[in-house]
């Protein structure tokens, strides 16, 4: 059965500003974007979006979809994500990650969860492994996971954190070489997604690896505004041609994550090298100077939307300048050319906002998930 939706008269941000346009979605893809589209097809649903803004759906590359935490024992394991949480904040694409717990949070479970979310209607990928080195994998080798699992875009490890494994430079560059070769064989970029802690040494390691001739494009640090040292190092890394990811949930060395984006651009970072993610459903442990956990909370996933709103409403940024951080830049950094944009042939993920940048409607793969601020599609076991 054909699924066709025509959205008329929206102010379209693709994420670049296109002005008032009509947008046609057919069978999960954008089929046309233009003025006064003349469309005749059976079962066509037409929505008048006059006065509203239309953007791509948000792409969050760091969500603990199976739950994170565990640093305080079994009771501190954070819960799994449910579909309605994604819909509520306009997240239509994601990369699932694992965290500290390498024993009870298996990579097989992560794969099953992202496939479940995909079946429920959003676009999903994953990184194999967690904080550990050598990586925790499904097949026994990180390279095989990347090659054999279509959704697997790369490997996650932690560096510069008291919970990480502290691999040597040579060990990290060997892992990167495996990731790069597996990516070449499987037609992916192949990335090393790095949880950045507060300890010194991580970015010095990256610089040595790049200076030895390894392509910087495969190294992807996240939590890049957690501490001032990390932020300053990340700025230099981005100026050298790398991508940096700023977490909108959790700790930040600025008054808000919004300020981190403004500061990074002000320091001369190419905005196309900056991405945004939530760390959703990860734990937010607080440790004392002895490394003892003294508190724990859970990261939400709505913080990406809140940061975009803050950048536009309070910081005076143009919507078309900040939208790429959570749409096109994320997709491009992973070689996913049909994601994160409103364009012919792209996946039909779209959001509608009112003139105060409040989210009103969500479409994922052309299917309406939120209508007039009401979530109309929920997960399989949601009441």
pLDDT in tens, 188-235: 999 999 999 989 999 999 999 999 999 999 999 999 999 999 999 999
Whether the Cβ atoms of residue 248 and residue 276 lie closer than 8 Å to each other = yes
> What are the backbone angles phi and psi of residue 207, rounded to the nearest 5°?
-60, -45
Which residue, among 351, 271, 344, has the nearest Cα to 309 in the 3D structure?
351
Which residue, among 319, 317, 346, has the nearest Cα to 332 in the 3D structure?
346
Catalytic positions are 279
Which residue, among 242, 243, 253, 254, has the nearest Cα to 277 in the 3D structure?
243
CB-neighbour burial class of residue 97 (10 A; exposed 0-12, middle 13-18, buried 19+)? buried
Q: Which helix (H) or strand (E) holds 115?
A: helix 107-120
User: 58-333 in CATH: which number?
Assistant: 3.20.20.140
- Ligand-binding site membership of 229 (annotated): no
Write out the chain's pLDDT in tens, 383 residues: 679 999 999 999 999 999 999 999 999 999 999 999 999 999 999 999 999 999 999 999 999 999 998 878 888 889 999 999 999 999 999 999 999 999 999 999 999 999 999 999 999 999 999 999 999 999 999 999 999 999 999 999 999 988 889 999 999 999 999 999 999 999 999 999 999 998 999 999 999 999 999 999 999 999 999 999 999 999 999 999 999 999 999 889 999 999 999 999 999 999 999 999 999 998 776 778 877 777 777 888 999 999 999 999 999 999 999 999 999 999 999 999 999 999 999 999 999 999 999 999 999 999 999 999 999 999 999 97
- Ligand-binding site membership of 337 (annotated): no
Q: For 69, left (φ over 0), alpha (ψ -120 to 50), or beta?
A: left
Whether the Cβ atoms of residue 180 and residue 190 lie closer than 8 Å to each other = yes
Q: Where are the domains of the chain?
A: 4-56+341-375, 58-333
pTM, full prediction? 0.96
Residue 374 β-bridge partners:
371
Cα-Cα-Cα-Cα torsion 170, 224, 184, 270, nearest 10 degrees, comes to -120
- Ligand-binding site membership of 62 (annotated): yes
CA angle 47, 49, 54 (to 5 degrees): 110
Whether the Cβ atoms of residue 367 and residue 3 lie closer than 8 Å to each other = yes
- Ligand-binding site membership of 78 (annotated): no
User: 4-56+341-375 in CATH: which number?
Assistant: 2.30.40.10
Whether 58-333 and 4-56+341-375 are alike in CATH topology: the answer is no
Q: Which DSSP string do the residues of 210-238 spell out, in sequence order?
A: HHTT--GGGEEEE-TTSSHHHHHHHHHHH
End-to-end CA distance of the chain: 28
- Ligand-binding site membership of 70 (annotated): yes
- Ligand-binding site membership of 283 (annotated): yes
Six-digit token string for 185: 């064989």
C-alpha dist (Å) from residue 78 to 115, 153, 295, 312, 316? 20, 24, 13, 31, 35
- Ligand-binding site membership of 195 (annotated): yes
């Amino acid at each position: 059965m054909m699924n066709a939706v025509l959205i008329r008269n929206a102010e379209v941000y693709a994420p670049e500003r296109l002005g008032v346009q009509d947008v046609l979605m057919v069978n999960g893809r954008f089929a046309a974007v233009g003025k006064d589209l003349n469309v005749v097809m059976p079962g066509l649903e037409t929505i008048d979006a006059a006065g509203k803004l239309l953007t791509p759906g948000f792409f969050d590359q760091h969500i603990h979809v199976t739950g994170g935490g565990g640093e305080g024992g079994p009771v501190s394991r954070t819960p799994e994500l449910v579909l309605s949480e994604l819909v509520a904040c306009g997240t239509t694409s994601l990369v699932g990650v694992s965290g500290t717990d390498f024993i009870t949070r298996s990579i097989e479970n992560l794969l099953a969860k992202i496939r479940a979310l995909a079946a429920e209607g959003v676009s999903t990928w994953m990184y194999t492994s967690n904080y550990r080195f050598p990586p925790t994998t499904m097949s026994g080798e990180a390279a095989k996971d990347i090659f054999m699992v279509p959704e697997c875009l790369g490997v996650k490890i932690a560096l510069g954190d008291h919970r990480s494994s502290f691999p040597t430079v040579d060990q990290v560059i060997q892992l990167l070489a495996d990731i790069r070769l597996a990516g070449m064989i499987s037609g992916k970029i192949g990335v090393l997604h790095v949880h950045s802690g507060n300890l010194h040494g991580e970015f010095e390691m990256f610089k040595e690896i790049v200076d030895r001739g390894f392509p910087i494009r495969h190294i992807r640090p996240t939590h890049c505004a957690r501490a001032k040292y990390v932020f300053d190092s990340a700025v230099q890394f981005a100026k050298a041609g790398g991508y940096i990811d700023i977490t909108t949930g959790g700790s930040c060395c600025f008054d808000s994550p919004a300020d981190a984006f403004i500061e990074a651009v002000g320091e001369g970072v190419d905005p196309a090298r900056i991405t945004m993610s939530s760390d959703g459903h990860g734990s937010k442990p607080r440790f004392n100077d002895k490394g003892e956990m003294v508190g724990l909370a859970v990261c939400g996933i709505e913080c990406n939307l809140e940061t975009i709103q803050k950048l536009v409403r309070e910081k005076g940024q143009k919507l078309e300048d900040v939208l790429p951080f959570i749409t096109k830049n994320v997709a491009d950094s992973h070689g996913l050319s049909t994601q994160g944009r409103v364009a012919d042939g792209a996946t039909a993920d779209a959001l509608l906002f009112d003139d105060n940048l409040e989210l009103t409607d969500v479409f994922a793969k052309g299917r309406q998930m939120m209508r007039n601020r009401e979530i109309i599609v929920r997960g399989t076991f949601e009441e």
